[in-house]
A and B are shown apart, each in its own frame.
Chain A
């Protein structure tokens, strides 16, 4: 069935270092969405990418959608403690409004 794989599961970084998470879909996606879940909280929508090869930026966050619309990445430059949380990618399921979720990448700032 349709799957969205996301790696790595965890990433430990020193504050100020960069962070990247990658998503790979088994099928071509009409769009891909990124969400952030803070510890103890619920997922919050960050951004949606629709076009092949699209790149969007939100301050220190850069989102990319692959040319084939099957993979995507989120890159955070110079991480801060406020970036801590789990980042999920999600793509629409073929047949209905449901979203297929990646497993998430947890960003951990080393003390």
Chain B
């Protein structure tokens, strides 16, 4: 199957700092990637749809100025959590759907802890 790589897999940062998470499609081009957030014992919550070469589409209630998304190439999307606070601590996962498929392939996820 297709491969989506996410980095880093875990990160600890201080309150007020920013953290960048990368999501790469390794063997296909992804014009669209999806960013999810998952709280412990809960389902996936779609945060935004990342569109190559244009602005991301954010879900209702997600602050676009806090969660900056950049999709500068067909194989890379980044999510930057700006001015992180402890309540931003969560598991962030990206996914992409290859052009010839309908199923989603996920990155390994990034566990963010803000102290």
Nearest CB in chain B: distance from A85 CB, A = 13
Structural contact, B108 and A42, CB atoms closer than 8 A: yes
Q: Could you tell me which residues of chain A, from 75 to 95, have a CB within 8 Å of some CB in chain B?
A: 88, 90, 92
In the assembled complex, the Cα of A9 lies from the Cα of B101 at a distance in Å of 29
Q: A33-B102, A33-B103, A92-B102 are in contact. Are A43 and B34 (CB under 8 A)?
A: no
Residue A106 interfacial (CB < 8 Å): yes
* Chain A: number of interface residues, binned into ranges: 20 to 34
Residue B44 interfacial (CB < 8 Å): yes
Residue B43 interfacial (CB < 8 Å): yes
* Chain B: number of interface residues, binned into ranges: 20 to 34
Residue B106 interfacial (CB < 8 Å): yes
Structural contact, A42 and B102, CB atoms closer than 8 A: no
**A90 neighbours in B (Cβ, 8 Å):** 104
**B107 neighbours in A (Cβ, 8 Å):** 42
In the assembled complex, the Cα of A43 lies from the Cα of B106 at a distance in Å of 7
Residue B61 interfacial (CB < 8 Å): no
Residue B77 interfacial (CB < 8 Å): no
In the assembled complex, the Cα of A48 lies from the Cα of B34 at a distance in Å of 19
Residue A61 interfacial (CB < 8 Å): no
Binding-face segment, A12-20, A65-73, A96-104: A96-104
What are some 24 contacts across the A-B interface (CB < 8 A)? A33-B104, A35-B104, A41-B108, A41-B109, A42-B107, A42-B108, A42-B109, A43-B44, A43-B93, A43-B95, A45-B1, A45-B104, A88-B43, A88-B44, A96-B49, A97-B49, A97-B97, A98-B34, A98-B46, A99-B34, A101-B43, A102-B43, A104-B43, A104-B44
